[in-house]
Structure 1
Amino acid sequence: MPAAPRNPAVTSDADLLAQTETAVRTAGAALRDRFGDVVPYGSFDELMRALAANDDAVLDVLRPRLTDLRPDARWVEEELDGGALPDGEWWVVDPAEGNVNHLHGLSDWAVTATLVRDNQPVLTVVHLPLTGETYTALAGAGAHLDGRPLRVSRTPELGLGIVATSQARPDEDEKVVRRIGASITEMLVDALVVRTSVPATLHLVNVAAGRIDAFWQFAGARADLLPGVLLVTEAGGRVSDAEGRPWTPESESFLAAAPGVHAAAVATLSR
């Protein structure tokens, strides 16, 4: 079990999770207040400024609260970064997961915060401000939705399953884009239903909740995947790369699935 938090104001990781949830929910209200009409933009630079304005509104609330909880934890500054982190504690935060949906008046967005300790996610909070739903997970203590335990689906075969994928970033490498397209085609043959949308985290909470059976992605940022890694594994699911090997933040692909469909999903994605 990871070492207990060093902040004397926090007595356990469970206590830290509860306080993190409060901080994320408070910050989520700032993003909800900005939601409404479609935000117009006429260039990529204008889009980036609009995305950054949402991020800043959340971080102005969230960052000081998380820093107060864990003063020694470092902060991942770039939410689209991938790869392993140096040892120690890190806050991996996506202040507006699904930010582009928010700008377009679509409802698929969230605020997430994950504490990583020595490259292992220890706790995570995913809050959906529009619905008020909050998904949480604590290493070794399960995954929950508003306090109710989550379990992945019992679907026994891929042909009966709903699966999903997402693109990792707006400037995705063309080779990755083509690989995504090919994998969708293969899944259309083998699975019952294929869903394709952003953001990744909202697919992953659905895997943890048993609503969909598998999610895969090529490449990917830590902030997109680490909340789902903890939620899905604590809900009884399996996480690997697309070829079935152990997933790490340095992996070039990602698969989270219910046990009954994991092997078949690996076979489909490996063709």
Structure 2
Amino acid sequence: MALRRIPGVRAICDFQVIDESPDWIVVDKPAPLMVHPANGSREPTLLSGLEVLLAAELAGGRGGLSILTRLDRETSGLVLVAKHAAAAKALSVPLASRTAFKGYHAISHGWPSWDEMVVDGPLRRAGEVKESRIWLRQCVDPGGKPATTHFRVLKRFEKEARPFCLLRCVPETGRTHQIRAHLEHVGHPLVGDKIYGTDGSAYLAQMEDGLDEVHARALLLSRQALHAAELALEWEGEVHRWECPMARDLARFLGAA
């Protein structure tokens, strides 16, 4: 008997504006909204929604939008967007020099034996060192690029007699899938992650023709439990700090909503 397929999660362009100036805008992006269009997809994107929202300003001819803090489609939270080329160039400096601060909240499997940990684990594409059916998958390897993430346990809790924890994650570097790969490396992968902490079959199934019931039940959440909660950087001599509350689906999993 064939397994029933679970309908894909539809993205809705319903982001929330957190803060705005004539030069930039900070928004709270929901999952699974994509940031940019990809592979000819006609799905709504954060970029297309912002272009509609800011159409009058963009008509002034100062240049197009530049998304400066990109998130995976399945990661929710803060995204900083420059409104013109000059702002994009200036804001890129603190981001590139690592003087900007980014903080994430994550829900992972298990109870870590530590309350705080720094993972200093170089990352490279997994397919370069071992067989991997997923091109984007990263792994910790001595020959990879330097990657460091600070983790702190905020809460340990149980759900259906299974242990989980809420973590604050602060990456020093900005490697692809850094938090996700580092959490897998220390044995506490994200809840809902289709690539890390699993054999990747859920991700491949979703890409092909949708998740089946077995994968959906095993994942517990329809997307990875990662939320960009904090962002701070200097702009024109002033430090700006932004925060946004945890997304509703993650708050429900925590029992907070």
What TM-score range do you get, normalising by the shorter chain?
under 0.3
- Report the TM-score when normalising by structure 1: 0.26
Larger CA Rg, structure 1 vs 2? 2
Which has more helix, going by share of residues?
1
RCO higher in 1 or 2 (8 Å CA, sep ≥ 6)? 2
Return the TM-score normalized by structure 2: 0.26
